[in-house]
Amino acid sequence: MNRRRFLGLGASVLGAGALAAVAVPSAARLLGEGRPGRLLTSGLELPPPFQVPLPVPPVLKPVGGDATGDRYEIVQQVARLEILPGVKTEAWTYGGSWPGPTVVARSGRAAVVTHRNQLPVPSVVHLHGGHTPADSDGYPVDLLLPVGSSGSSGAMAGMAGMAGMPGMDHHAAGKSVTGERTHTYPGHQRAATLWYHDHRMGFTGPGVWRGLAGFHLVHDDEEAALPLPHGDRDLPLMLADRAFAEDGSFRYPAAGDDEPGVTSDYMNGVLGDVILVNGAPWPRLDVDRARYRLRFLNASNARLYRLELDPQPPGGDALVQIGSDGGLLEAPVAHDALEIAPAERFDVVVDFSRYPPGTAVRLLNRFGSGRTAEVMRFDVSSRQVSDDATVPEQLSTIEKLDASAAANTRDFTFRRSRGDGWTINGDPYEPGRDIARPALGATELWRFSTDLHHPVHVHLNHFQVLSRNGADPGPYDAGWKDTVDLRPAEEVEVLVRFTDYAGTYMLHCHNLEHEDMAMMADFVVE
């Protein structure tokens, strides 16, 4: 099939609803139940579930600051962690732990974070969901080369395997630094659960898989004035799946030592057979009979979860969603189950007083099977406790972006390429080539369409989901989002307004194997 015919076929499938409907069953068959990824199994015996206590990542202390903001330092370093009981795993970490330390920031105050790279590989840090000036956003070829790697030879080591990619040399030469890089996050954004993670071009999948991810929480006065659960009853929960080799090391099907992406049998995504929460396999947590705020983040490379409590409390509606990627919803939305795609965040309140004392409540993954169908367990205590937290009927006010005010409508199609790789609008990623140039301050309507499952992420600004397949947004689309899950043959429209910062940003699939295999594009705000 030549290129023109390939693109032509794409256009007709995406353009016509009837044809798209015909295309679904075959795509779905190819992918089991339509969800991406291939299972990588571990080479050692997996621990029984619900033995390890749930860890909570440490909060990062500022090293300084002034009236306008706080300064932080993070050393990216190799650490030998006990992830599976009695087994040592060499991880790439932020500050020696996985997840990395949680940055707790205040809306309106800057968080200035200096990263020092003591890893054996180049890195790039991105604050996911951050409203960030372009030079601090973590452009995928703005490499932070390891301490001690010298100038151009260091740069060359980092670029190995990517030399043939157009645009690389020029950009990489300009923006790569050695040793340390400081990222300024101005904090001009509302309270939200954000996360930071590696974003190196072609190598984000292995970087995050080996441990390069952490929470970054933003608080503000609006949220603080609400009677929501706080303190020990406000928990970040990072979900991730991994596979381990016989010797305890992380197993990952890299295409080659210096080659981006994975072997072609895993190009649809890598799934692990161990489910971890905050870096612990199938952990357990003692909870009071009280309300808890659980901030779910799916930090998995490719796995989608359908989270459900078992047993359900009488009357159902166990998971009361109060926030999404971009912070508080206008009003809470009660769910029996939550579907969460890679990079999405769901902020929910669970009231464990709805359970009899002593109940063991499992958190299940209904999209999993066997061991991956379980996530963690909450053990409800029989102690009598007080709980003054509630979930107000109104949480926030959200300005509804107006479709008729959109300055532009743009189409982005997410599809597999002819060879091993993934494309947006038919093209693999090429740094320095932009796919759109929205004006600073403008609202645009972006229409994403797809062949298979792709969690689509936009940097710089949060967006609002306007429609799914021409109908209303889905049950998990409420509020300000930065990542939206496209299902096979779907078309999703979002409204986004580009504010405050001009420059080059990214639009990409957050299935990290798809991202590494070129399903990414630059857009330039000007």
Q: Is the dihedral of CA 255, 117, 54, 512 positive or negative?
A: negative
Q: Does 454 bind Cu ion (CB under 5 A)?
A: yes
Q: How far is CA 492 from CA 13, 330, 473, 498, in A?
A: 15, 21, 8, 19
Q: Which of 362, 453 has the CB closer to ligand C2O?
A: 453
Q: Closest Cα partner for 341 from 472, 465, 200, 211?
A: 465
Assign 3-state DSSP to the chain and report helix, strand, coil percentages, each to 5.
15, 40, 45
Q: Does 199 bind ligand C2O (CB under 6 A)?
A: yes
**What 3-state class would DSSP assign to 26?**
helix
From candidates 42, 123, 193, 511, binder to Cu ion by CB under 5 A: 511
From candidates 128, 335, 362, 497, binder to Cu ion by CB under 5 A: 128
454 binds, among Cu ion, ligand C2O, none (CB under 5 to 8 A by kind): Cu ion
Q: Which of 216, 289 has the CB closer to Cu ion?
A: 216
- In angstroms, give the least distance from the CB of 58 to Cu ion: 23
Q: Which of residues 438-467 bind ligand C2O (CB under 6 A)?
A: 457, 459
- Between CA 223 and CA 349 the distance in angstroms is 14
284 binds, among Cu ion, ligand C2O, none (CB under 5 to 8 A by kind): none
Provide the 10 A C-beta neighbour count for residue 120: 10
Q: Does 304 bind Cu ion (CB under 5 A)?
A: no
Q: Which of 351, 515 has the CB closer to Cu ion?
A: 515
CA-atom Rg of the chain in angstroms? 22
From candidates 35, 109, 115, 126, binder to ligand C2O by CB under 6 A: 126
The stretch among 176-184, 250-258, 437-445, 508-516 that binds Cu ion (CB under 5 A) is: 508-516
Phi, psi of 463, deg, nearest 5: -130, 170
Site string for ligand C2O, 484-513 (x = CB under 6 A): ----------------------x-x-x---
Q: Does 416 bind ligand C2O (CB under 6 A)?
A: no
Q: Does 487 bind Cu ion (CB under 5 A)?
A: no
- In angstroms, give the least distance from the CB of 294 to Cu ion: 22
Q: Which of 218, 309 has the CB closer to Cu ion?
A: 218
Q: Does 343 bind ligand C2O (CB under 6 A)?
A: yes
Q: Does 197 bind ligand C2O (CB under 6 A)?
A: yes
Q: Which of 278, 450 has the CB closer to Cu ion?
A: 450
**Position with the least CB separation from ligand C2O:** 128
Q: Which of 95, 130 has the CB closer to ligand C2O?
A: 130
CA 195-199-203 angle, 5° bins:
135
Q: Which of 99, 283 has the CB closer to ligand C2O?
A: 99
DSSP 126-166: EEET----GGGS--TTS-EEPTT--HHHHHHHHHTT-TTST
Q: Closest Cα partner for 187 from 111, 101, 104, 74?
A: 111
- In angstroms, give the least distance from the CB of 273 to ligand C2O: 24
- Between CA 209 and CA 91 the distance in angstroms is 9
Q: Which of 197, 293 has the CB closer to ligand C2O?
A: 197
**What 3-state class would DSSP assign to 382?**
coil
- Is residue 492 within 8 A of residue 486, CB to CB? The reply is yes
- Between CA 343 and CA 483 the distance in angstroms is 7
Task: Name the site residues for Cu ion (rule: CB under 5 A).
Answer: 128, 454, 459, 509, 511, 514
Task: Name the site residues for ligand C2O (rule: CB under 6 A).
Answer: 126, 128, 197, 199, 343, 457, 459, 506, 508, 510
